Structures are given as structure tokens and as C-alpha cells.
Amino acid sequence: MKALRAFDGAGLIAATASHATVIAELHRRCFDEPWSVFTVRQVLAMPGAFGFLAVEENSGMADPGLLGFALGRSAAGECELLSLAVAARQRRRGIGNALLAAALDRARRDGVGRMFLEVAEDNAVAQRLYRAYGFRQVGRRPRYYRRPRGEAMAALTYAVSLQD
């Protein structure tokens, strides 16, 4: 296992299709509209797709002890952050920061001009993280996310320029 970035007893590794099951499991625990293993595999197989996993240091590849993940895709001069999540008990130790920084580094290396993402209008925690990295709201999609009791929640589109 090659750690891409170390932080507080954990590190980042690149995601591959072999991690689809653990990513889908964590996605299910973090979001109301879970992605299946098949969907995660499809996402990782898209041209320009990439993923980073936050894992405890010294954990093996067979059991990556997944703490968090970021999935993105660079295409047509832009990068979309497709999903970002940290296991509930592992939050507030800098993992979300490290994953987002790694995705932004990757997008810059891909030579794209900007990164964009969608975030639920009521997700103040994630919005605060994104704003700290220079993301700003550029759009709003009403009734975009469906909540367990059937209510709908708007998505805000955020973007950041990657050109210095």
C-alpha cells in the first residue's frame, strides 16, 4: 500500500474497482440515496475517473479499514467531485480536508480549469468545507435530493477555479 498523504494515523490510497464493495458500504451509511457496488464500479470505470480512500495506516489492501472516500472525474476541461464522505465516527480529524485536497491536486494535475460539485442546501458542514477551499455557489437545483420521508431538498452547485 502506497500512502499518498499521511494525516493523524491514517493515509490516502488510490481507489480501484477492487474497493467498490467497501466504498458502496460507506456510501450507504453516509447518504440517503445509496450507490450500489455496481454503480461504484461504473463510476470508477468512467474515462477520467479517480478515487481516493482514507485508510488507517498499516491496514492491508484486503481490509482497507475504510475511513472515507472521494470520487471524481475529469472530463472536457472540468472536474466534478462526484462523492465525498467520511465515516461518522471518524469525522473532525481532518480526513474530509485531506480527501478534498487530494481531489483538487488530482484535478490540477489533469490540467482542468475548474472543479464543481453538488451539495444539499441543508448540508452546512460540507458547504463550510468547500468554501474553505474557495468553492462558491454558482447554481441551485430545486428538489434535487429525496429524503427518507419523501421530502425533497435542493442541491447547490459549487465551483472553484483551478487556474492560478
Ligand X SMILES: CC(C)(COP(=O)(O)OP(=O)(O)OC[C@H]1O[C@@H](n2cnc3c(N)ncnc32)[C@H](O)[C@@H]1OP(=O)(O)O)[C@@H](O)C(=O)NCCC(=O)NCCS
**Interface positions with ligand X (CB under 6 A):** 30, 84-86, 91-97, 119, 123, 125-126, 128-129, 132
Output DSSP code: residue 147. Answer: P
CB of 112 to ligand X, least distance (A): 19
CB nearer ligand X, residue 59 or residue 97: 97
Smallest separation, CB 41 to ligand X (Å): 20
Q: How far is the CB of 93 from ligand X (least distance, A)?
A: 6
Whether 155 contacts 141, CB under 8 Å: yes
The CB-nearest residue to ligand X is 96
By beta-carbon proximity to ligand X, the closer residue of 59 and 123 is 123
**Cβ proximity to ligand X, 137 vs 163, nearer residue:** 137
Residue 19 exposure: Cα atoms within 13 Å on the Cβ side: 27
- ∠ CA(164), CA(80), CA(86), 5° rounding? 105
Q: CA torsion angle for 144, 40, 47, 119 (degrees, to 10)?
A: 30
* Count of residues in the chain: 164
